[in-house]
Amino acid sequence: MSKTNEGQRTDMYTRITDRVIEDLASGVRPWMKPWSAGNTDGRITRPLRHNGQPYSGMNVLLLWSEQISRGFGSSMWMTFKQALELGAAVRKGETGSTVVFASRFTKSEDNGKGGEVDREIPFLKAYSVFNVEQIDGLPEHYHTQPEPVEDPIARIENADRFFRNTDAIIRHGGNQAYYSPVMDYIQMPPFEAFKNAASYYATLSHEATHWTAAEKRVGRDLSRYAKDRSERAREELIAELGSCFLCADLGIVPEIEPRPDHASYLQSWLKLLAGDKRAIFQAAAHAQRATAFLHGLQPEAGDVREAA
């Protein structure tokens, strides 16, 4: 990879991370924007591609932010070329929104012993997409109104079934919510201790994301969680993002106000992101793997795919 491309990639990490830091510094968790923008009664979904497949990982955060800041009512996006292929065209003067694609390429290097060894090098590519509200001439179904909000009771039944299908051990009692890596169980306060059912399942989504860390699941290392504040901040960021992804998938409103124990992580997240421009990307990728794993435990597995 050339120095120019490497510099562009680093700059991309920096620019996007700086946007997240700016929000956090003002007390705003950017991944909560879709719900905190007066939309708690609506049906928040992940951003969608032109073919209806959901975006994942960091692109969810990027496009949620764009949709809110630019006032788009639609959650569907496509590239300039995809619009043309549909017989449509992006309106003159419209600007695109950045999404990223992470991949790897193989490079042969001298192993110092007269031979060569292949090394995988990660790279990040950015490209622009446009909201369907920026495009003229699309087939009518791209402009259809969202389906009516699912009945709240039906949403809760769906969430209950979702977590039951994971076969996670979920205990109730006390006044704390946590996941025990040693005993491999999720501890939740009694259902009645939460202000409503959505708050209960939003908190359970957070703990279920922690639960996926076990080696027999997705295998995130939690051995330094209790001793290393930086590692704790990373894992809590993963759980926060995982909870938001799951809430969007399940039609649940997350906890708009952070839990008391999470408020203490704000400065840790700021410090983490300031020192590591890739941290938010890595956290989003881990959160995506965690939610994909949980979806994979469902009888209808396959509806949510890991994609850029």
Q: What is the DSSP letter of 257?
A: S
Phi and psi at residue 6, to the nearest 5°: -60, -40
- Are residues 308 and 56 in contact, defined by beta-carbon separation less than 8 angstroms? yes
**Of 112 and 31, more confident:** 31
Q: How confident is the model at residue 307 (pLDDT cuts 50, 70, 90)?
A: very low
Helices marked H in the chain: 3-25, 33-36, 58-70, 80-85, 152-165, 197-211, 229-250, 260-263, 265-275, 279-296
Task: Report CA 85 to chain centroid distance, whole Å.
Answer: 29
Q: Work out the average pLDDT over 200-206.
A: 94
pTM: predicted TM-score of the whole model, two decimal places:
0.86
153 vs 105, more confident: 153
* DSSP conformation class of 48: B
Closest CA to 144 of 156, 154, 132: 132
Under the banding of pLDDT at 50, 70 and 90, the label for residue 131 is very high
The structural domains of the chain, with segments of one domain joined by +, span: 3-296
Q: Reply yes or no on whether the pLDDT at 94 is more than 50.
A: yes
Among residues 285, 149, 296, 152, the alpha carbon closest in space to that of 217 is found at 296
Q: What band does 214 get if pLDDT is binned at 50, 70 and 90?
A: very high
- 6-32: pLDDT as tens digits: 555 558 889 999 999 999 988 888 898
Identity of the residue numbered 107:
K
Contact between residue 76 and residue 49 where contact means Cβ atoms under 8 Å apart? yes
Q: How far is CA 14 from the centre of its chain?
A: 19
- For the segment 94-107, the average pLDDT, to the nearest whole number, is 83
